Structure 1
Amino acid sequence: MDGILLVDKPSGITSNSLVQKVKKHLKSLTGSEVKVGHTGTLDFFASGLMVLTLGKATRLTEYFQGLDKEYIATGELGKITDTYDIQGQVIQEKECTITEEELEKIILSFEKTYPQMPPPFSSKRINGVRAYQLAKKGITPQLKPKVVTIYSIQILEINLPEFTIKVHCSSGTYIRSLIKEIGDEAGCGAYTKSLRRTRVGRFSVEDATPLDKLLAMELSEIEKLVISVHEGLYFFPEITLDEGFDRRFLHGQRFRVPFDIQGNVRVFSKDGRFLGVGFVREDRILQPVKVFL
Protein backbone atom coordinates (compact mmCIF):
# COMPACT_ATOMS: atom_id res chain seq x y z
CA MET A 1 0.00 0.00 0.00
CA ASP A 2 1.72 3.14 -1.27
CA GLY A 3 0.38 6.68 -1.20
CA ILE A 4 -1.07 9.48 0.88
CA LEU A 5 -3.77 9.12 3.53
CA LEU A 6 -5.60 12.10 5.02
CA VAL A 7 -6.62 11.63 8.65
CA ASP A 8 -8.57 13.97 10.93
CA LYS A 9 -6.73 13.84 14.27
CA PRO A 10 -8.81 14.26 17.43
CA SER A 11 -7.50 16.34 20.30
CA GLY A 12 -6.04 14.50 23.28
CA ILE A 13 -3.67 12.26 21.34
CA THR A 14 -0.10 12.73 20.11
CA SER A 15 0.74 12.62 16.43
CA ASN A 16 3.05 9.67 17.01
CA SER A 17 0.31 7.75 18.79
CA LEU A 18 -2.00 8.35 15.84
CA VAL A 19 0.62 6.94 13.45
CA GLN A 20 1.09 3.87 15.65
CA LYS A 21 -2.66 3.23 15.79
CA VAL A 22 -2.92 3.42 11.99
CA LYS A 23 0.10 1.11 11.59
CA LYS A 24 -1.37 -1.43 13.99
CA HIS A 25 -4.74 -1.36 12.20
CA LEU A 26 -3.19 -1.79 8.74
CA LYS A 27 -1.06 -4.67 10.01
CA SER A 28 -4.16 -6.39 11.40
CA LEU A 29 -5.84 -6.05 7.99
CA THR A 30 -2.91 -6.97 5.74
CA GLY A 31 -1.09 -9.41 7.95
CA SER A 32 2.20 -7.60 7.43
CA GLU A 33 3.96 -4.41 8.50
CA VAL A 34 3.00 -1.29 6.54
CA LYS A 35 5.30 1.72 6.70
CA VAL A 36 3.45 4.81 7.93
CA GLY A 37 4.90 8.28 8.40
CA HIS A 38 3.53 11.75 9.00
CA THR A 39 4.46 14.99 7.31
CA GLY A 40 4.11 17.33 10.27
CA THR A 41 3.04 16.95 13.89
CA LEU A 42 0.05 18.46 15.64
CA ASP A 43 0.15 19.31 19.33
CA PHE A 44 -1.55 16.95 21.79
CA PHE A 45 -4.42 19.39 22.38
CA ALA A 46 -4.82 20.23 18.68
CA SER A 47 -7.05 18.52 16.14
CA GLY A 48 -7.30 18.45 12.39
CA LEU A 49 -5.56 17.37 9.24
CA MET A 50 -2.63 15.01 9.29
CA VAL A 51 -1.11 13.96 5.97
CA LEU A 52 0.20 10.42 6.36
CA THR A 53 2.58 8.72 3.95
CA LEU A 54 2.20 4.97 3.35
CA GLY A 55 4.69 2.43 2.02
CA LYS A 56 7.04 3.82 -0.62
CA ALA A 57 5.56 7.30 -0.11
CA THR A 58 7.36 7.51 3.26
CA ARG A 59 10.50 8.25 1.23
CA LEU A 60 8.87 11.49 0.09
CA THR A 61 7.90 12.89 3.49
CA GLU A 62 10.36 15.79 3.24
CA TYR A 63 8.58 17.22 0.21
CA PHE A 64 5.27 17.57 2.03
CA GLN A 65 6.75 19.19 5.13
CA GLY A 66 7.34 22.49 3.34
CA LEU A 67 3.73 23.02 2.23
CA ASP A 68 1.73 26.00 3.47
CA LYS A 69 -0.72 25.38 6.31
CA GLU A 70 -4.10 26.73 7.40
CA TYR A 71 -5.39 26.73 10.97
CA ILE A 72 -8.37 27.88 12.98
CA ALA A 73 -7.32 28.98 16.45
CA THR A 74 -8.98 30.50 19.49
CA GLY A 75 -6.92 32.62 21.86
CA GLU A 76 -7.74 34.07 25.24
CA LEU A 77 -6.31 37.42 26.26
CA GLY A 78 -5.05 38.22 29.75
CA LYS A 79 -3.19 35.00 30.51
CA ILE A 80 0.14 33.48 29.46
CA THR A 81 0.91 29.80 30.06
CA ASP A 82 4.35 28.21 30.03
CA THR A 83 3.42 26.17 26.95
CA TYR A 84 1.54 29.05 25.27
CA ASP A 85 -1.55 26.78 25.16
CA ILE A 86 -4.37 25.41 27.30
CA GLN A 87 -2.26 22.50 28.55
CA GLY A 88 0.24 24.68 30.35
CA GLN A 89 0.43 26.34 33.74
CA VAL A 90 -0.61 30.00 33.94
CA ILE A 91 2.56 31.99 34.60
CA GLN A 92 1.16 35.49 34.13
CA GLU A 93 -2.24 37.16 34.40
CA LYS A 94 -3.03 40.73 33.48
CA GLU A 95 -6.25 42.62 32.98
CA CYS A 96 -6.94 43.41 29.33
CA THR A 97 -8.73 46.67 28.54
CA ILE A 98 -8.35 46.58 24.76
CA THR A 99 -11.34 47.26 22.48
CA GLU A 100 -12.50 44.98 19.67
CA GLU A 101 -11.40 47.55 17.07
CA GLU A 102 -7.92 47.80 18.57
CA LEU A 103 -7.60 44.02 18.70
CA GLU A 104 -8.69 43.70 15.06
CA LYS A 105 -5.91 46.08 13.97
CA ILE A 106 -3.32 44.17 15.99
CA ILE A 107 -4.41 40.80 14.58
CA LEU A 108 -4.33 41.98 10.97
CA SER A 109 -0.92 43.62 11.49
CA PHE A 110 0.56 40.11 11.62
CA GLU A 111 -0.08 39.54 7.91
CA LYS A 112 3.63 39.78 7.14
CA THR A 113 6.97 38.00 6.97
CA TYR A 114 8.90 38.25 10.22
CA PRO A 115 11.24 36.35 12.57
CA GLN A 116 9.10 34.32 14.99
CA MET A 117 10.37 32.83 18.24
CA PRO A 118 9.25 29.20 18.76
CA PRO A 119 7.56 28.33 22.08
CA PRO A 120 9.81 26.94 24.84
CA PHE A 121 7.71 23.77 24.75
CA SER A 122 8.33 22.83 21.12
CA SER A 123 9.95 20.01 19.16
CA LYS A 124 12.87 22.19 18.06
CA ARG A 125 16.22 20.47 18.66
CA ILE A 126 18.96 22.18 20.67
CA ASN A 127 22.21 20.24 20.53
CA GLY A 128 20.22 17.12 19.75
CA VAL A 129 17.71 17.61 22.57
CA ARG A 130 14.08 18.63 22.05
CA ALA A 131 13.26 22.06 23.49
CA TYR A 132 10.27 20.69 25.42
CA GLN A 133 12.50 18.12 27.12
CA LEU A 134 14.66 20.94 28.47
CA ALA A 135 11.64 23.07 29.39
CA LYS A 136 10.13 20.21 31.40
CA LYS A 137 13.33 20.14 33.48
CA GLY A 138 13.04 23.86 34.18
CA ILE A 139 15.83 24.73 31.73
CA THR A 140 15.08 27.68 29.44
CA PRO A 141 15.81 26.50 25.88
CA GLN A 142 18.12 28.80 23.90
CA LEU A 143 15.87 29.02 20.86
CA LYS A 144 16.50 31.04 17.74
CA PRO A 145 13.80 32.87 15.79
CA LYS A 146 12.73 31.52 12.40
CA VAL A 147 11.48 33.69 9.56
CA VAL A 148 7.85 32.80 8.82
CA THR A 149 5.15 34.28 6.62
CA ILE A 150 1.53 34.88 7.59
CA TYR A 151 -0.15 35.11 4.19
CA SER A 152 -3.58 35.98 5.54
CA ILE A 153 -5.55 36.19 8.77
CA GLN A 154 -9.33 36.08 8.80
CA ILE A 155 -11.04 37.18 12.01
CA LEU A 156 -13.87 34.72 12.60
CA GLU A 157 -15.07 35.98 15.98
CA ILE A 158 -14.16 38.36 18.78
CA ASN A 159 -15.87 37.84 22.09
CA LEU A 160 -13.46 39.44 24.55
CA PRO A 161 -11.34 38.17 26.14
CA GLU A 162 -11.46 35.46 23.43
CA PHE A 163 -10.88 35.73 19.71
CA THR A 164 -10.97 33.16 16.90
CA ILE A 165 -8.94 33.48 13.71
CA LYS A 166 -8.23 31.52 10.53
CA VAL A 167 -4.55 31.68 9.56
CA HIS A 168 -2.88 30.81 6.25
CA CYS A 169 0.83 30.59 6.91
CA SER A 170 4.16 29.19 5.79
CA SER A 171 5.50 25.89 7.04
CA GLY A 172 7.25 26.22 10.40
CA THR A 173 4.87 28.83 11.79
CA TYR A 174 3.85 28.27 15.41
CA ILE A 175 0.26 29.37 15.95
CA ARG A 176 0.83 29.23 19.72
CA SER A 177 3.56 31.84 19.30
CA LEU A 178 1.34 33.94 17.02
CA ILE A 179 -1.48 33.99 19.58
CA LYS A 180 0.95 35.00 22.34
CA GLU A 181 2.46 37.72 20.11
CA ILE A 182 -1.01 39.12 19.47
CA GLY A 183 -1.58 39.15 23.23
CA ASP A 184 1.77 40.84 23.84
CA GLU A 185 0.86 43.57 21.35
CA ALA A 186 -2.46 43.95 23.16
CA GLY A 187 -0.49 44.54 26.36
CA CYS A 188 -1.84 41.63 28.36
CA GLY A 189 -0.59 38.39 26.80
CA ALA A 190 -2.63 35.48 25.46
CA TYR A 191 -2.60 31.71 25.16
CA THR A 192 -4.09 29.28 22.63
CA LYS A 193 -7.33 27.69 23.85
CA SER A 194 -8.02 25.55 20.81
CA LEU A 195 -6.25 24.78 17.56
CA ARG A 196 -7.40 22.94 14.45
CA ARG A 197 -5.41 22.43 11.24
CA THR A 198 -7.76 22.71 8.29
CA ARG A 199 -5.41 22.57 5.32
CA VAL A 200 -1.94 21.46 4.22
CA GLY A 201 -1.19 22.72 0.74
CA ARG A 202 -4.20 21.63 -1.34
CA PHE A 203 -5.12 18.87 1.12
CA SER A 204 -8.20 19.77 3.17
CA VAL A 205 -9.49 18.38 6.45
CA GLU A 206 -12.88 18.15 4.74
CA ASP A 207 -11.44 15.27 2.70
CA ALA A 208 -9.85 13.59 5.73
CA THR A 209 -11.24 10.59 7.60
CA PRO A 210 -11.71 10.89 11.39
CA LEU A 211 -9.30 8.55 13.18
CA ASP A 212 -11.99 6.54 14.98
CA LYS A 213 -13.84 5.95 11.71
CA LEU A 214 -10.62 4.92 9.94
CA LEU A 215 -9.80 2.39 12.65
CA ALA A 216 -13.18 0.73 12.08
CA MET A 217 -12.72 0.39 8.30
CA GLU A 218 -11.92 -2.69 6.26
CA LEU A 219 -8.88 -2.74 3.97
CA SER A 220 -10.93 -2.24 0.79
CA GLU A 221 -12.48 0.91 2.25
CA ILE A 222 -9.10 2.36 3.25
CA GLU A 223 -7.58 1.57 -0.14
CA LYS A 224 -10.23 3.78 -1.76
CA LEU A 225 -9.06 6.70 0.41
CA VAL A 226 -5.38 6.43 -0.52
CA ILE A 227 -4.12 9.16 -2.84
CA SER A 228 -1.52 7.86 -5.31
CA VAL A 229 2.07 8.98 -4.83
CA HIS A 230 2.21 11.01 -8.03
CA GLU A 231 -1.14 12.71 -7.32
CA GLY A 232 0.07 13.59 -3.84
CA LEU A 233 3.07 15.36 -5.37
CA TYR A 234 0.79 17.72 -7.31
CA PHE A 235 3.07 20.66 -6.44
CA PHE A 236 5.87 19.35 -8.70
CA PRO A 237 5.58 19.75 -12.49
CA GLU A 238 5.63 16.51 -14.47
CA ILE A 239 7.78 15.39 -17.38
CA THR A 240 7.50 12.33 -19.62
CA LEU A 241 10.61 10.52 -20.81
CA ASP A 242 10.94 8.81 -24.17
CA GLU A 243 11.51 5.08 -24.28
CA GLY A 244 15.04 4.18 -23.24
CA PHE A 245 15.47 7.28 -21.13
CA ASP A 246 13.03 5.84 -18.59
CA ARG A 247 15.39 2.92 -18.00
CA ARG A 248 18.33 5.29 -17.70
CA PHE A 249 16.43 7.28 -15.07
CA LEU A 250 15.59 4.13 -13.09
CA HIS A 251 19.27 3.15 -13.16
CA GLY A 252 20.24 6.50 -11.62
CA GLN A 253 21.84 7.97 -14.73
CA ARG A 254 21.95 11.70 -15.44
CA PHE A 255 21.09 13.03 -18.89
CA ARG A 256 19.93 16.15 -20.69
CA VAL A 257 16.18 16.66 -21.18
CA PRO A 258 14.35 18.93 -23.67
CA PHE A 259 12.24 20.68 -21.03
CA ASP A 260 12.37 24.32 -20.00
CA ILE A 261 11.88 23.41 -16.32
CA GLN A 262 14.13 23.72 -13.29
CA GLY A 263 13.88 22.09 -9.88
CA ASN A 264 12.04 19.03 -8.66
CA VAL A 265 9.82 17.17 -11.14
CA ARG A 266 7.57 14.12 -11.23
CA VAL A 267 8.96 11.75 -13.82
CA PHE A 268 6.78 9.45 -15.96
CA SER A 269 7.44 6.91 -18.67
CA LYS A 270 5.82 7.08 -22.10
CA ASP A 271 3.20 4.55 -20.98
CA GLY A 272 2.21 6.70 -17.98
CA ARG A 273 4.10 4.85 -15.24
CA PHE A 274 5.37 7.00 -12.36
CA LEU A 275 9.13 6.57 -12.16
CA GLY A 276 9.96 8.86 -9.26
CA VAL A 277 11.21 12.34 -8.46
CA GLY A 278 14.03 14.00 -10.35
CA PHE A 279 15.79 17.34 -10.25
CA VAL A 280 16.38 19.36 -13.41
CA ARG A 281 19.47 21.55 -13.19
CA GLU A 282 19.97 24.90 -14.92
CA ASP A 283 21.79 23.14 -17.75
CA ARG A 284 18.71 20.88 -18.26
CA ILE A 285 20.46 17.83 -16.85
CA LEU A 286 17.97 15.54 -15.10
CA GLN A 287 19.27 14.02 -11.87
CA PRO A 288 17.28 11.06 -10.45
CA VAL A 289 16.51 11.76 -6.77
CA LYS A 290 13.86 9.27 -5.63
CA VAL A 291 13.46 6.30 -7.99
CA PHE A 292 10.39 4.00 -7.87
CA LEU A 293 11.29 0.65 -9.41
Structure 2
Amino acid sequence: MDGIFLIDKPAGITSNNLVQKIKKHLKNIYNTDIKIGHTGTLDFFATGLMIITVGKATRLTEYYQGLDKEYIATGELGKITDTYDINGKVIKERECNISEEKLREIILSFQKEYLQYPPPYSAKRIKGKRAYQLAKKGIQPELKPKKVKIYSIEILDISLPFFTVKIYCSSGTYIRSIIKEIGDLAGCGAYTKELRRTKIDSFSVEDALPLNEFLQKTDLQNALIPIENALPFMEKIQLDEGFDKRFLHGQRFRVPAQKGIYRIYDHTGKFIGIGKVDENRILHPQKVFPPE
Protein backbone atom coordinates (compact mmCIF):
# COMPACT_ATOMS: atom_id res chain seq x y z
CA MET A 1 0.00 0.00 0.00
CA ASP A 2 1.75 3.12 -1.30
CA GLY A 3 0.11 6.51 -1.83
CA ILE A 4 -1.81 9.15 0.06
CA PHE A 5 -5.10 9.44 1.93
CA LEU A 6 -7.04 12.70 2.14
CA ILE A 7 -8.48 12.93 5.66
CA ASP A 8 -10.87 15.50 7.13
CA LYS A 9 -9.52 16.02 10.65
CA PRO A 10 -12.07 16.67 13.41
CA ALA A 11 -11.53 19.20 16.20
CA GLY A 12 -10.18 18.02 19.54
CA ILE A 13 -7.39 15.75 18.29
CA THR A 14 -3.71 16.38 17.55
CA SER A 15 -2.29 15.64 14.14
CA ASN A 16 0.04 13.01 15.61
CA ASN A 17 -2.86 11.33 17.40
CA LEU A 18 -4.76 11.21 14.11
CA VAL A 19 -1.78 9.50 12.45
CA GLN A 20 -1.61 6.92 15.23
CA LYS A 21 -5.33 6.13 14.89
CA ILE A 22 -4.93 5.60 11.14
CA LYS A 23 -1.80 3.47 11.66
CA LYS A 24 -3.62 1.25 14.16
CA HIS A 25 -6.60 0.90 11.82
CA LEU A 26 -4.38 -0.17 8.92
CA LYS A 27 -2.61 -2.71 11.11
CA ASN A 28 -5.95 -4.19 12.17
CA ILE A 29 -6.99 -4.56 8.52
CA TYR A 30 -3.74 -5.78 6.96
CA ASN A 31 -2.23 -7.47 10.04
CA THR A 32 1.10 -5.72 9.53
CA ASP A 33 2.74 -2.41 10.38
CA ILE A 34 2.43 0.07 7.53
CA LYS A 35 4.57 3.17 7.56
CA ILE A 36 2.51 6.38 7.47
CA GLY A 37 3.03 10.07 8.16
CA HIS A 38 1.46 13.48 7.67
CA THR A 39 2.60 16.39 5.51
CA GLY A 40 1.77 19.26 7.86
CA THR A 41 0.04 19.63 11.21
CA LEU A 42 -3.29 21.18 12.06
CA ASP A 43 -3.89 22.73 15.48
CA PHE A 44 -5.77 20.71 18.12
CA PHE A 45 -8.89 22.86 17.78
CA ALA A 46 -8.75 23.04 13.97
CA THR A 47 -10.53 20.85 11.43
CA GLY A 48 -10.02 20.09 7.79
CA LEU A 49 -7.73 18.63 5.19
CA MET A 50 -4.69 16.56 6.06
CA ILE A 51 -2.63 14.63 3.52
CA ILE A 52 -1.54 11.30 5.00
CA THR A 53 1.36 9.55 3.27
CA VAL A 54 1.41 5.75 3.20
CA GLY A 55 4.22 3.26 2.54
CA LYS A 56 6.75 4.49 -0.02
CA ALA A 57 4.91 7.81 -0.29
CA THR A 58 6.29 8.76 3.15
CA ARG A 59 9.53 9.53 1.27
CA LEU A 60 7.71 12.34 -0.55
CA THR A 61 6.64 14.36 2.51
CA GLU A 62 9.02 17.26 1.81
CA TYR A 63 7.36 17.99 -1.53
CA TYR A 64 3.96 18.56 0.10
CA GLN A 65 5.16 20.76 2.94
CA GLY A 66 5.77 23.86 0.83
CA LEU A 67 2.39 23.88 -0.91
CA ASP A 68 0.01 26.83 -0.70
CA LYS A 69 -3.08 26.40 1.48
CA GLU A 70 -6.60 27.71 1.93
CA TYR A 71 -8.38 28.21 5.27
CA ILE A 72 -11.69 29.44 6.60
CA ALA A 73 -11.34 31.11 10.00
CA THR A 74 -13.67 32.81 12.46
CA GLY A 75 -12.29 35.38 14.88
CA GLU A 76 -13.82 37.08 17.88
CA LEU A 77 -12.87 40.68 18.58
CA GLY A 78 -12.33 42.04 22.09
CA LYS A 79 -10.48 39.07 23.60
CA ILE A 80 -6.86 37.91 23.42
CA THR A 81 -5.84 34.40 24.51
CA ASP A 82 -2.32 33.22 25.25
CA THR A 83 -2.50 30.68 22.40
CA TYR A 84 -4.32 33.06 19.99
CA ASP A 85 -7.13 30.46 19.76
CA ILE A 86 -10.24 29.23 21.57
CA ASN A 87 -8.31 26.67 23.66
CA GLY A 88 -6.15 29.31 25.29
CA LYS A 89 -6.56 31.32 28.45
CA VAL A 90 -8.07 34.81 28.02
CA ILE A 91 -5.30 37.22 29.06
CA LYS A 92 -6.90 40.52 27.93
CA GLU A 93 -10.41 41.78 27.28
CA ARG A 94 -11.19 45.13 25.70
CA GLU A 95 -14.31 46.82 24.46
CA CYS A 96 -14.40 46.96 20.67
CA ASN A 97 -16.15 49.92 19.06
CA ILE A 98 -15.02 49.41 15.49
CA SER A 99 -17.43 49.86 12.59
CA GLU A 100 -18.07 47.06 10.11
CA GLU A 101 -16.72 49.27 7.32
CA LYS A 102 -13.41 49.89 9.15
CA LEU A 103 -13.07 46.21 10.02
CA ARG A 104 -13.53 45.29 6.35
CA GLU A 105 -10.78 47.75 5.42
CA ILE A 106 -8.40 46.23 7.97
CA ILE A 107 -9.12 42.64 6.90
CA LEU A 108 -8.60 43.34 3.21
CA SER A 109 -5.27 45.08 3.97
CA PHE A 110 -3.79 41.64 4.74
CA GLN A 111 -3.72 40.66 1.08
CA LYS A 112 0.04 41.18 0.87
CA GLU A 113 3.49 39.72 1.49
CA TYR A 114 4.92 40.55 4.90
CA LEU A 115 7.02 39.36 7.84
CA GLN A 116 4.82 37.47 10.28
CA TYR A 117 5.64 36.44 13.85
CA PRO A 118 4.47 32.93 14.80
CA PRO A 119 2.25 32.55 17.89
CA PRO A 120 4.16 31.81 21.12
CA TYR A 121 2.27 28.51 21.30
CA SER A 122 3.56 27.03 18.05
CA ALA A 123 5.74 24.13 16.90
CA LYS A 124 8.63 26.41 15.93
CA ARG A 125 11.98 25.14 17.24
CA ILE A 126 14.11 27.42 19.41
CA LYS A 127 17.48 25.95 20.37
CA GLY A 128 16.09 22.43 20.11
CA LYS A 129 12.87 23.17 22.01
CA ARG A 130 9.39 23.72 20.60
CA ALA A 131 8.05 27.23 21.23
CA TYR A 132 4.92 25.86 22.93
CA GLN A 133 7.09 23.83 25.35
CA LEU A 134 8.79 27.04 26.49
CA ALA A 135 5.51 28.98 26.58
CA LYS A 136 3.91 26.36 28.85
CA LYS A 137 6.76 26.91 31.33
CA GLY A 138 6.13 30.66 31.31
CA ILE A 139 9.20 31.38 29.18
CA GLN A 140 8.64 33.93 26.42
CA PRO A 141 10.07 32.27 23.29
CA GLU A 142 12.28 34.46 21.09
CA LEU A 143 10.47 33.97 17.83
CA LYS A 144 11.78 35.29 14.52
CA PRO A 145 9.44 36.60 11.84
CA LYS A 146 9.02 34.72 8.56
CA LYS A 147 8.05 36.12 5.18
CA VAL A 148 4.56 34.89 4.24
CA LYS A 149 2.27 35.74 1.35
CA ILE A 150 -1.49 36.18 1.53
CA TYR A 151 -2.64 35.71 -2.07
CA SER A 152 -6.26 36.49 -1.24
CA ILE A 153 -8.45 37.17 1.76
CA GLU A 154 -12.22 37.08 1.36
CA ILE A 155 -14.74 38.28 3.94
CA LEU A 156 -17.44 35.64 4.32
CA ASP A 157 -19.33 37.18 7.23
CA ILE A 158 -19.21 39.96 9.80
CA SER A 159 -21.53 39.69 12.80
CA LEU A 160 -19.69 41.79 15.38
CA PRO A 161 -17.81 40.87 17.47
CA PHE A 162 -17.33 37.86 15.13
CA PHE A 163 -15.92 37.82 11.62
CA THR A 164 -15.27 34.95 9.20
CA VAL A 165 -12.69 35.02 6.42
CA LYS A 166 -11.36 32.71 3.70
CA ILE A 167 -7.58 32.97 3.31
CA TYR A 168 -5.41 31.58 0.50
CA CYS A 169 -1.79 31.78 1.60
CA SER A 170 1.76 30.50 1.32
CA SER A 171 2.96 27.55 3.37
CA GLY A 172 4.05 28.45 6.90
CA THR A 173 1.44 31.16 7.38
CA TYR A 174 -0.17 31.18 10.84
CA ILE A 175 -3.86 32.02 10.56
CA ARG A 176 -4.03 32.51 14.34
CA SER A 177 -1.47 35.30 13.97
CA ILE A 178 -3.46 36.97 11.18
CA ILE A 179 -6.65 36.95 13.27
CA LYS A 180 -4.79 38.46 16.25
CA GLU A 181 -3.14 41.08 14.01
CA ILE A 182 -6.56 42.05 12.63
CA GLY A 183 -7.73 42.45 16.23
CA ASP A 184 -4.66 44.52 17.13
CA LEU A 185 -5.32 46.90 14.23
CA ALA A 186 -8.96 47.10 15.33
CA GLY A 187 -7.69 48.30 18.70
CA CYS A 188 -9.17 45.54 20.83
CA GLY A 189 -7.42 42.26 19.96
CA ALA A 190 -8.92 39.02 18.69
CA TYR A 191 -8.50 35.26 18.90
CA THR A 192 -9.33 32.45 16.48
CA LYS A 193 -12.59 30.78 17.45
CA GLU A 194 -12.78 28.31 14.55
CA LEU A 195 -10.28 27.23 11.91
CA ARG A 196 -10.75 24.88 8.97
CA ARG A 197 -8.23 23.97 6.27
CA THR A 198 -10.12 23.60 3.01
CA LYS A 199 -7.36 23.16 0.44
CA ILE A 200 -3.72 22.17 0.03
CA ASP A 201 -2.74 23.23 -3.49
CA SER A 202 -5.30 21.43 -5.73
CA PHE A 203 -6.32 18.92 -3.04
CA SER A 204 -9.70 19.79 -1.50
CA VAL A 205 -11.33 18.83 1.78
CA GLU A 206 -14.43 18.06 -0.32
CA ASP A 207 -12.58 14.97 -1.58
CA ALA A 208 -11.43 13.91 1.89
CA LEU A 209 -12.89 11.25 4.17
CA PRO A 210 -13.92 12.34 7.68
CA LEU A 211 -11.69 10.52 10.17
CA ASN A 212 -14.56 8.61 11.80
CA GLU A 213 -15.79 7.43 8.42
CA PHE A 214 -12.28 6.35 7.43
CA LEU A 215 -11.87 4.34 10.65
CA GLN A 216 -15.06 2.41 9.88
CA LYS A 217 -13.92 1.31 6.42
CA THR A 218 -12.21 -2.02 5.83
CA ASP A 219 -11.72 -1.66 2.08
CA LEU A 220 -9.44 1.34 1.70
CA GLN A 221 -8.05 0.84 -1.80
CA ASN A 222 -10.65 3.18 -3.32
CA ALA A 223 -9.65 5.87 -0.82
CA LEU A 224 -5.93 5.55 -1.59
CA ILE A 225 -4.47 7.89 -4.22
CA PRO A 226 -1.51 5.98 -5.72
CA ILE A 227 1.89 7.69 -5.83
CA GLU A 228 1.79 8.26 -9.61
CA ASN A 229 -1.40 10.32 -9.15
CA ALA A 230 -0.46 11.95 -5.84
CA LEU A 231 1.83 14.69 -7.18
CA PRO A 232 -0.35 16.75 -9.55
CA PHE A 233 1.53 19.92 -8.62
CA MET A 234 4.68 18.59 -10.36
CA GLU A 235 5.30 18.54 -14.10
CA LYS A 236 5.97 15.14 -15.68
CA ILE A 237 8.94 13.80 -17.65
CA GLN A 238 8.71 10.45 -19.43
CA LEU A 239 12.12 9.00 -20.26
CA ASP A 240 13.03 7.00 -23.34
CA GLU A 241 14.06 3.38 -22.97
CA GLY A 242 17.59 3.14 -21.62
CA PHE A 243 17.50 6.57 -19.98
CA ASP A 244 14.95 5.26 -17.46
CA LYS A 245 17.46 2.63 -16.36
CA ARG A 246 20.16 5.25 -16.07
CA PHE A 247 17.84 7.31 -13.84
CA LEU A 248 17.15 4.28 -11.63
CA HIS A 249 20.90 3.79 -11.24
CA GLY A 250 21.32 7.39 -10.05
CA GLN A 251 22.99 8.68 -13.21
CA ARG A 252 22.64 12.27 -14.42
CA PHE A 253 21.95 13.27 -18.01
CA ARG A 254 20.56 16.08 -20.13
CA VAL A 255 16.81 16.34 -20.77
CA PRO A 256 14.69 18.79 -22.82
CA ALA A 257 13.11 20.43 -19.78
CA GLN A 258 13.36 23.67 -17.82
CA LYS A 259 14.84 23.97 -14.33
CA GLY A 260 12.59 22.48 -11.63
CA ILE A 261 11.36 19.39 -9.79
CA TYR A 262 9.63 16.71 -11.86
CA ARG A 263 7.77 13.41 -11.62
CA ILE A 264 9.76 10.87 -13.60
CA TYR A 265 8.21 7.98 -15.58
CA ASP A 266 9.87 5.16 -17.51
CA HIS A 267 9.35 4.44 -21.21
CA THR A 268 6.23 2.34 -20.43
CA GLY A 269 4.61 5.18 -18.42
CA LYS A 270 5.37 3.75 -14.97
CA PHE A 271 6.32 6.19 -12.18
CA ILE A 272 9.94 5.67 -11.13
CA GLY A 273 10.81 8.70 -9.01
CA ILE A 274 11.44 12.40 -8.53
CA GLY A 275 14.12 14.29 -10.39
CA LYS A 276 15.58 17.77 -10.29
CA VAL A 277 16.56 19.56 -13.50
CA ASP A 278 19.28 22.16 -13.03
CA GLU A 279 19.93 25.36 -15.00
CA ASN A 280 21.97 23.35 -17.56
CA ARG A 281 19.00 21.01 -18.12
CA ILE A 282 20.78 18.13 -16.40
CA LEU A 283 18.40 15.74 -14.65
CA HIS A 284 19.51 14.71 -11.14
CA PRO A 285 17.70 11.75 -9.53
CA GLN A 286 16.30 12.80 -6.12
CA LYS A 287 14.03 9.91 -5.11
CA VAL A 288 14.10 6.61 -6.95
CA PHE A 289 11.27 4.05 -6.91
CA PRO A 290 12.44 0.93 -8.78
CA PRO A 291 9.63 -1.11 -10.36
CA GLU A 292 8.72 -4.18 -8.31
TM bucket normalised to smaller? over 0.9
Whether 1:272 aligns to 2:269 is: yes
Query: What are the Cα deviations for residues 87-129 of structure 1, in whole angstroms up to 9, with x where unaligned?
Result: 1111111100000000000000000000000000000000110
Give the deviation of 1:206 after TM superposition: 0.4
Residues in 2 aligned to 1:260 and 1:90: alpha-carbon distance in whole angstroms: 54
One-letter amino acid of the counterpart of residue 170, structure 1: S
Structure 1 residue aligned with 2:17: 17
SS at match of 1:179: helix
Whether 1:245 aligns to 2:243 is: yes
* Structure 1 stretches of at least 4 aligned residues deviating more than 3 Å after TM superposition: none
Give the deviation of 1:154 after TM superposition: 0.9
Structure 2 residue aligned with 1:284: 281
SS at match of 1:265: strand
Aligned match of 1:262 in 259, 266, 274?
A: 259
TM-score (norm 1): 0.98
Structure 2 residue aligned with 1:97: 97
One-letter amino acid of the counterpart of residue 276, structure 2: F
One-letter amino acid of the counterpart of residue 276, structure 1: G
Structure 2 residue aligned with 1:75: 75
Whether 1:149 aligns to 2:149 is: yes
One-letter amino acid of the counterpart of residue 235, structure 2: P
Residues in 1 aligned to 2:282 and 2:154: alpha-carbon distance in whole angstroms: 43
SS at match of 2:225: coil
Give the deviation of 1:263 after TM superposition: 1.2
One-letter amino acid of the counterpart of residue 223, structure 2: L
One-letter amino acid of the counterpart of residue 152, structure 2: S
Contact persistence 2:257–2:277 (CA under 8 A): no
SS at match of 2:83: coil
One-letter amino acid of the counterpart of residue 5, structure 1: F
Structure 2, unmatched stretches of 5+, are none
One-letter amino acid of the counterpart of residue 261, structure 2: N
SS at match of 1:152: strand
Whether 1:128 aligns to 2:125 is: no
223-232 or 146-155: which moved more? 223-232
Structure 2 residue aligned with 1:138: 138
Residues in 2 aligned to 1:268 and 1:80: alpha-carbon distance in whole angstroms: 51
Contact persistence 2:79–2:93 (CA under 8 A): yes
- Number of equivalences: 290
One-letter amino acid of the counterpart of residue 261, structure 1: Q
Structure 2 residue aligned with 1:225: 223
Give the deviation of 1:260 after TM superposition: 2.9
SS at match of 2:18: helix
Contact persistence 2:148–2:170 (CA under 8 A): yes
Give the deviation of 1:230 after TM superposition: 2.3
Structure 2 residue aligned with 1:197: 197
Residues in 2 aligned to 1:95 and 1:198: alpha-carbon distance in whole angstroms: 32
Query: What are the Cα deviations for residues 145-170 of structure 1, in whole angstroms up to 9, with x where unaligned?
Result: 00001111111110000001111111
Give the deviation of 1:227 after TM superposition: 1.0
Give the deviation of 1:270 after TM superposition: 1.1
SS at match of 1:28: helix
Query: What are the Cα deviations for residues 132-157 of structure 1, in whole angstroms up to 9, with x where unaligned?
Result: 00000000000000000111111111
One-letter amino acid of the counterpart of residue 282, structure 2: I
Structure 1 residue aligned with 2:37: 37
Residues in 2 aligned to 1:188 and 1:12: alpha-carbon distance in whole angstroms: 28
